[in-house]
């Protein structure tokens, strides 16, 4: 690096921060700025302009993967844009900012040091270089993680930097990689008000054992891997505390309290729902078929609407007995994260359990108990009548956990977790029956597939793991068969079990496999665009929705495509890596002769199972990432703004 290499920040006037006691700033991350595709300079410039129009900010933190490939022309474009801003920008390096030799020469030439610390108003800002160990030529040894933390001389620098501060000095730490306590336990004695990261294109807030609060923020310029909309965070530091607020760059109001609400195009009906079969687990039951023999007939009207404290992303409600149970998430202060039970007929809240950490998928109901798992790996069992905690179980290393799946209850067993720690517990007591820790090394990228079962075996799938799909014995956990993971076979969606086959959806194809052997019976080439949409199964018809805004129906006897329906709107809000394109669709369900699917455009769609033609649609006012559920003549659906609605036939 030359002697005249620049030193952060860029743009604005950092001296204006010196006299401030309170700060308001934004975190952007994983821009992947390119001169060729996805996020072009004009896109990035426009996104920053929108952020500065919305908020009166003091500065911006850009926490890594600023460029798509670490090319000099990409860094030149980045500098040109941030130098023109009215507020200072403090950058950090990510893995995409490296060159082929991991020297990050282009980054250093354009943006200066890969690690540094500086005073920003009352805060001591520390920017950590997560790949310093590679630049020093160290080996990861037997650590098989994709992006591991390996101790190096940068940790000596960090220790010295923090130790030189007064004990009450507030510290803000930025590290592109959202590692857990293997790195941060050494910092528990310091007054760190927050740790900011990116890398996984996912949203998460977790609190480690030492009380450090970690924020992972979605990508700015395109949809996140966890199906989060492209967005950013703002932070306010006041009264020696840090407060977070998540934002999106979506065209529709999204999380609770963000944006102007849209009045739903629904009539109000006075008829009460007539309940039929229960819908106690994700996609209706252990086989995850997403099918009901009957449901409401459009047009539908609204019976009731209930607002919950948190947000609803891709987690459908479940219906047990006469109540609807909805999980919620909140990656800002955690207050809205939890489980709520509503009267199915009136929408009146019966109880709420505050989980602290977000719950990103559905609960599971069985024998008077409600089970759910948080993103940090805490399994809870609640009394379904009053919401009281019966027992809990923690997966190890909660600061390393990224759990986005739904638990499974089958034959008195509760199965939940991720590839690095899958557990089977007695559903009534929480006693451990078996665990598997050998199906994957780490929770690398948020993985939505949930376990499915026919009662004898449990089929598990994992996104970007050494094991992509496996069938295990329900009672012993032993492997019956297993398929290794590679990019063509990464499983995005929850497996669906037919009579004697399992249907799995990867990024490139839908496959039917023999349930006993794992042998492929047929394959249908359909691209999901990395959307974790679980198919529904009705007789010989498999219904699949995609990130290209399509609904396909496949003949399960041979794998041939029967029909395709294409959405007309262009809102790819939940589609990973997409900035523009067709509207993202939720997991579909089938009720009688209708396919029901929600869209990121805020609409609910009913499609004829026989013809594939649109029967009816309605704008319900907020984006829909979760599938609806049905029972009798009623439907319940949650929207991203934290509202749950009950709909019935508009008589």
Residue 417, domain CATH: 2.130.10.10
Q: Retrieve residue 288's tokens.
A: 């995850």
The number of domains in the chain is 2
DSSP, res 599: B
Both ends of the chain: CA-CA distance in Å?
Answer: 73
Work out the average pLDDT over 29-48.
96
DSSP, res 328: E
pLDDT value at residue 1: 41
Least confident among 95-99, 288-292, 368-372, 499-503: 95-99
Task: Measure CA 278 to chain center.
Answer: 27
Check whether 97 has a pLDDT greater than 60: yes
Check whether 477 has a pLDDT greater than 60: yes
Residue 431 lies in a domain: yes
CATH number reported for the structural domain that contains residue 169 in this entry? 3.60.21.10
- Phi/psi-derived region of residue 383, left when phi > 0, alpha when psi is between -120 and 50, beta in every other case: beta
Is the peptide bond between 299 and the residue preceding it cis, with omega within 30 degrees of 0? Answer: yes
Check whether 227 has a pLDDT greater than 80: yes
**Do residues 322 and 283 share a domain?**
yes
pLDDT digits 0-9 by tens, 248-298: 987 666 767 665 566 788 888 878 888 989 999 999 999 999 999 999 999
Work out the average pLDDT over 495-519.
94
Q: Could you give the CA distance from residue 633 to residue 190 in angstroms, rounded to a whole number? A: 58
Residue 259 lies in a domain: no
Q: What stretch of H or E contains 156?
A: helix 153-163
Neighbouring residues of 164: CB distance < 8 A, sequence distance ≥ 6 = none
Share of the chain above pLDDT 90, in %: 85
**Do residues 92 and 173 share a domain?**
yes
E strands, 309-354, where?
318-320, 323-328, 338-343, 349-354
**Do residues 379 and 487 share a domain?**
yes
pLDDT value at residue 246: 95
pLDDT value at residue 260: 58
- Mean of all residue pLDDT scores within the chain: 94
Work out the average pLDDT over 617-624.
92
Residue 527 lies in a domain: yes
Higher pLDDT, 276 or 75: 75
Residue 258 lies in a domain: no
**Do residues 579 and 510 share a domain?**
yes
Please name every residue paired with 597 in a beta bridge, in sequence order, or none if there are none.
Answer: 605
**Do residues 243 and 288 share a domain?**
no
pLDDT value at residue 3: 43
pLDDT value at residue 259: 56
**Do residues 560 and 637 share a domain?**
yes
pLDDT value at residue 640: 93
pLDDT digits 0-9 by tens, 303-335: 999 999 999 999 999 998 899 999 999 999 999
pLDDT value at residue 4: 53
Check whether 554 has a pLDDT greater than 90: yes
Residue 2 lies in a domain: no
**Do residues 614 and 523 share a domain?**
yes
Check whether 487 has a pLDDT greater than 80: no
What is the residue range of 515's domain?
267-649
Least confident among 2-11, 48-57, 381-390, 597-606: 2-11
Residue 256 lies in a domain: no
Work out the pLDDT band at 650, boundaries 50, 70, 90: confident
Domain endpoint, select from 213, 248, 283: 248
pLDDT value at residue 565: 98
Work out the average pLDDT over 184-203.
95
Taking Cα atoms as reference points, which of 638, 282, 225, 201 lies closest to residue 450? 282
DSSP class per residue in 75-125? HHHHHHHHHTSSS-EEEE--GGG--TTS--HHHHHHH--SSEEEEETTEEE
Least confident among 43-57, 188-202, 238-252, 412-426: 238-252
**Do residues 285 and 224 share a domain?**
no
**Do residues 196 and 330 share a domain?**
no
Q: Are strands 213-216 and 231-238 parallel, antiparallel or unpaired?
A: unpaired
Residue 132 lies in a domain: yes
Residue 261 lies in a domain: no
**Do residues 586 and 629 share a domain?**
yes
Query: Phi, psi (5° rounding) for residue 333?
Result: -110, 0
pLDDT value at residue 490: 84
**Do residues 240 and 293 share a domain?**
no
**Do residues 323 and 431 share a domain?**
yes
Q: Could you give the CA distance from residue 195 to residue 29 in angstroms, rounded to a whole number? A: 13
Check whether 358 has a pLDDT greater than 50: yes
């Amino acid at each position: 690096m030359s002697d005249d290499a620049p030193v952060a920040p860029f743009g604005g006037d950092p001296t204006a921060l010196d006299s401030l006691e309170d700060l308001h700033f934004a975190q952007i991350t994983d821009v992947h700025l390119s001169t060729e595709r996805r996020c072009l300079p004009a896109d990035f410039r426009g996104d920053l302009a929108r952020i500065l129009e919305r908020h009166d900010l003091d500065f911006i933190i850009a926490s890594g993967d600023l460029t798509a490939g670490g090319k000099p022309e990409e860094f030149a474009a980045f500098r040109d844009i941030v130098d023109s801003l009215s507020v200072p920008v403090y950058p950090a390096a990510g893995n995409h900012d490296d060159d082929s030799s991991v020297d990050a020469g282009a980054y250093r030439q354009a943006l200066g040091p890969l690690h540094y610390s500086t005073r920003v108003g009352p805060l001591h800002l520390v920017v950590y270089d997560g790949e310093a160990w590679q630049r020093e030529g160290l080996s990861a040894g037997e650590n098989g993680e994709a992006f591991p933390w390996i101790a190096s001389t940068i940790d000596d620098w960090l220790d010295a930097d923090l130790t030189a501060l007064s004990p009450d000095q507030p510290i803000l730490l930025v590290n592109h990689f959202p590692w857990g306590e293997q790195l941060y336990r050494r910092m528990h004695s310091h007054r760190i008000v927050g740790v900011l990261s990116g890398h996984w294109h996912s949203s998460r807030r977790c609190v480690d054992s030492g009380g450090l609060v970690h924020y992972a923020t979605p990508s700015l310029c395109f949809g996140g891997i966890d199906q989060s909309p492209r967005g950013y965070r703002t932070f306010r530091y006041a009264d020696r505390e840090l407060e977070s607020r998540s934002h999106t760059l979506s065209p529709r109001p999204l999380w609770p309290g963000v944006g102007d609400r849209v009045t739903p195009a629904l009539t109000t009906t006075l008829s009460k729902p007539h309940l039929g079969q229960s819908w106690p687990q994700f996609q209706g039951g252990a086989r995850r078929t997403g099918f009901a023999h009957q449901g409401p007939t459009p047009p539908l009207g609204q019976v009731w609407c209930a607002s919950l404290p948190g947000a609803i992303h891709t987690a459908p409600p479940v219906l047990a007995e006469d109540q609807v149970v909805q999980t919620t998430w909140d990656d800002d202060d955690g207050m809205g994260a939890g489980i709520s039970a509503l009267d199915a007929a009136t929408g009146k809240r019966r109880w709420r359990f505050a989980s602290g950490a977000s719950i990103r998928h559905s609960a599971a109901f069985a024998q008077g108990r409600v089970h759910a798992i948080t993103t940090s790996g805490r399994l809870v069992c609640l009394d379904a009548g009053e919401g009281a905690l019966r027992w809990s179980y923690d997966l190890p290393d909660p600061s390393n956990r990224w759990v986005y799946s739904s638990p499974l209850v089958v034959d008195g067993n509760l199965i939940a977790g991720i590839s690095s720690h899958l557990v089977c517990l007695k559903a009534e007591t929480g006693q451990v029956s078996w665990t598997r820790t050998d199906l994957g090394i780490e929770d690398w990228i948020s993985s939505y597939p949930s376990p499915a079962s026919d009662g004898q075996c449990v089929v598990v799938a994992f996104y970007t793991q050494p094991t992509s799909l496996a069938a295990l014995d329900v009672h012993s956990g032993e492997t019956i068969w297993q398929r290794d993971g590679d990019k063509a076979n990464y499983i995005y969606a929850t497996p669906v079990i037919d009579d004697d086959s399992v249907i799995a959806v990867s990024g490139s194809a839908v496959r039917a496999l023999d349930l006993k052997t794992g042998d492929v019976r047929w394959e249908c080439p359909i691209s999901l665009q990395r959307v974790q949409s679980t198919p529904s199964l009705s007789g010989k018809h498999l219904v699949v929705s995609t990130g290209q805004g399509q609904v396909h129906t496949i003949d399960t006897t041979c794998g041939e495509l029967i029909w395709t329906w294409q959405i007309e709107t262009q809102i790819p809000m939940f589609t990973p890596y997409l900035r523009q394109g067709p509207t993202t669709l939720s997991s579909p369900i089938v009720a009688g002769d209708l396919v029901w699917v929600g869209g990121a455009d805020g609409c609910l769609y009913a499609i004829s199972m026989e013809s594939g033609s649109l029967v009816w649609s309605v704008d319900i006012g907020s984006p829909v990432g979760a599938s609806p559920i049905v029972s009798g003549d009623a439907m319940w659906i949650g929207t991203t703004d934290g509202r749950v609605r009950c709909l019935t036939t508009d008589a």
